[in-house]
Amino acid sequence: MKKLLFLAVFTALALASCVNDAPLSVSKGDPKQSPLTLLTEENPSWKHENLRLYPVVASPEVVEANTRLQNLKTLAEGMQTPGFRVMEQKQFGRGGDAWYHGLTVQNKTQDTVLLLSGDVVKGGNQDRVLAHHEVILPMTVRNIEVFCVEAGRSTYYDPSAPAVEKEAAAFKGYYNVASPQVRRAVQNAGNQQEVWDAVAKVTKANNAESSTKAYTALDNESAEKTRRDAYLHQLTGSFAGRTDIVGMVAVCGDQILGVDIFGNPELFRRQYSALLHGYVAETVAASPSTQVGEDQVRNAFEKVSRLAAPHAKSNEKAGKFTWGGSWVHLFSK
């Protein structure tokens, strides 16, 4: 009798464990089924030519739990705020030898600023892409790790600038989130040559090669840029009017370009255009092909979304950035 009772209890616990560890569901539009839901219905505003976006919806509980994340400023917003600047690496902002794989972030504002792995800053002594996610607190100075995305330049971007400006070597602005190829090179390889190789592939495919081999040469006028601008124009307002969308799966033909999910819909809304720019950079160069199957899209979503579980950790396929007890960004690698 005792043996039977033990087996019954053991079975119940095992079943409970399976339920607790079950992956997040994918539905065709009912966001109440799980904390994170992938919407797969057809919607013309989520697609342009060879690029389709599958939005990810968060439950009200997720949105409520992560409300404070909407107060994080993006790097683009931070760099437009007086008192916040990114400079060539200087030990706590006060001189020191140049370090091409590091920059100094100085935040003299009252804002908390979120930096994403893949964010690109332009200017300084060469354009860079950020290696890791970071949160920069108010009134702090931090050194951060980066990779170069402009192999042919190692001097200040404005040769005519006053000596004091060159000494500070501040960056002139934010660009966008890098394309998936470049992000993968940063996040998986962590090797400068592989980052340069990824930049070269993307710029060549977009007819955006330059004398300094800069990723930001994507902004040079060309037929490819005109096509990219059409994508951006068409898809910029894809999720307008929705207050529950926290991310997306981006699909180009038979490729899943990536997955980006944020802990708060307002934070995703403000990161959206920079992320879209990176996805579009690889879409224009791709050949028309058969669309990815819905099962593949679901699998890609689930690999990333299951990291929303409290104790789930990043792996070779998906990344998770947490801050202050909340997950901020889930993404594919």
pLDDT, position 91: 54
263 occurs within a structural domain: yes
CA dist 266 and 239 (Å) reads: 12
Strand 73-74 versus strand 113-115 pairing type: parallel
203 occurs within a structural domain: no
Residue 4 in this model has a pLDDT that exceeds 60:
no
5 occurs within a structural domain: no
DSSP assignment, residue 208? Answer: -
Tens digits of per-residue pLDDT, 136-188? 999 999 999 999 999 999 999 999 999 999 988 999 999 999 999 999 999 98
Tens digits of per-residue pLDDT, 67-88? 999 999 999 999 999 999 999 9
- Long-range contact set of residues 305-309: C-beta below 8 Å, sequence gap at least 24: 305/23, 305/24, 305/36, 305/38, 305/56, 305/259, 305/261, 305/330, 306/23, 306/24, 308/24, 308/35, 308/36, 308/62, 308/261, 309/21
285 occurs within a structural domain: yes
274 occurs within a structural domain: yes
Structure tokens at 3: 């043996």
1 occurs within a structural domain: no
pLDDT confidence tier of residue 13, bands split at 50, 70 and 90: very low
Structure tokens at 197: 């190789």
Supply the range of the domain harboring residue 261.
24-65+221-333
Residue 8 in this model has a pLDDT that exceeds 70:
no
Residue 237 in this model has a pLDDT that exceeds 90:
yes
- The chain-wide mean pLDDT, for the chain, equals 88
Residue 7 in this model has a pLDDT that exceeds 70:
no
What's the structural domain count of the chain? 1
324 occurs within a structural domain: yes
Tens digits of per-residue pLDDT, 107-142? 999 999 999 999 999 999 999 999 999 999 999 999
> Percentage of residues in the chain with pLDDT exceeding 90?
78
Tens digits of per-residue pLDDT, 275-316? 999 999 999 877 777 678 899 999 999 999 999 999 999 999
pLDDT, position 151: 96
126 occurs within a structural domain: no
CA dist 197 and 194 (Å) reads: 5
pLDDT, position 241: 85
Give the amino acid at 331: F
